[in-house]
């Protein structure tokens, strides 16, 4: 419990303070002086540090890159690690291992992206998951699914629509084995290379097993401070809040 409160406090505090500093810097008027600046020793910036166009886009849920994340919220502490890289030709892939909700709920994700068509396939697995179905809470459920996704840019790439259709199977104690289809409609808006907001409405329908007929939604926002560091926060319709810090490498 102490770890959960410390991580949540640190994550939210970092998000607020870093966002305020970034906005202040963006709004500050620039003045020029006729004085010749003193010559000082400095370390030259790398291309990634000096050119935001070369940054990995942390607002893009289909972006392939290696990173680690730590987060906290009212459901506990989350940890995840992702390896991402080239597979072959136009294909990239990534593998994610995550422990969520005070490290009691485990997930894996394998992701293949066709970078030429901005589409791909995702294999998602979770264990010991808590789920609410028709206003009833279930514990220790397991979920395997395969999904097909695409990335559709609009408004000069400021708006991105990420539709995903999945077919999966859920099982667990006191829960009938259920086959389902799910549609995610993730939408993200980028103000610039740093700030973004998004919303993900989701519909799931069970056509065998439990009477699964659920709409859910999540809203999120983030600040990418540099090419290797970003902060985000999200809340869903069950009022579950999560603040997350991501380190790319």
In the prediction, which pLDDT does 232 show?
Answer: 97
Contact 235, 217 (CB under 8 A): no
Q: Which CATH number fits domain 2-23+65-240: 1.10.8, 3.30.460, 2.70.70, 2.40.160?
A: 2.40.160
Three-state secondary-structure class, residue 237: coil
How far is it, in rounded angstroms, from Cα 89 to Cα 86? 8
pLDDT in tens, 43-92: 555 555 557 778 899 999 999 999 999 999 999 999 999 999 999 999 99
pLDDT in tens, 138-177: 888 999 999 999 999 999 889 999 999 999 999 998 888 9
Phi, psi of 141 (to 5 degrees): -95, 155
With CA atoms as reference, report the closest residue to 208 among 237, 241, 181, 247. 181
Task: Give the domain ranges of the chain.
Answer: 2-23+65-240
Phi, psi of 99 (to 5 degrees): -125, 125
Three-state secondary-structure class, residue 48: helix
């Amino acid at each position: 419990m102490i770890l959960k409160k410390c991580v949540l406090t640190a994550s939210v505090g970092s998000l607020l303070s870093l966002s305020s500093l970034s906005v202040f810097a963006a709004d500050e008027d620039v003045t020029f002086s006729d004085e010749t600046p003193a010559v000082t020793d400095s370390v030259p910036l790398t291309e990634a540090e000096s050119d935001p166009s070369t940054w990995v886009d942390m607002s893009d849920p289909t972006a392939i890159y290696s990173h680690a994340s730590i987060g906290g919220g009212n459901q506990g502490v989350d940890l995840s690690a992702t390896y991402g890289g080239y597979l072959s030709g136009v294909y990239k892939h990534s593998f994610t291992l995550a422990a969520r909700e005070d490290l009691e709920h485990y997930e894996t994700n394998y992701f293949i992206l066709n970078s030429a068509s901005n589409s791909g396939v995702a294999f998602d697995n979770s264990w010991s998951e808590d789920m609410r179905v028709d206003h009833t809470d279930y514990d220790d459920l397991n979920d395997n699914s395969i999904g097909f996704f695409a990335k559709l840019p609009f408004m000069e790439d400021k708006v991105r629509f990420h539709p995903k259709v999945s077919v999966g199977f859920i099982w667990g104690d006191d829960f009938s084995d259920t086959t389902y289809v799910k549609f995610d409609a993730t939408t993200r808006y980028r103000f610039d290379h740093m700030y973004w907001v998004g919303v993900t409405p989701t519909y799931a329908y069970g056509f065998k097993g439990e009477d699964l007929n659920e709409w859910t939604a999540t809203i999120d926002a983030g600040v990418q401070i540099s090419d290797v560091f970003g902060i985000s926060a999200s809340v869903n319709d069950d009022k579950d809040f999560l603040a997350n810090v991501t380190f790319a490498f």
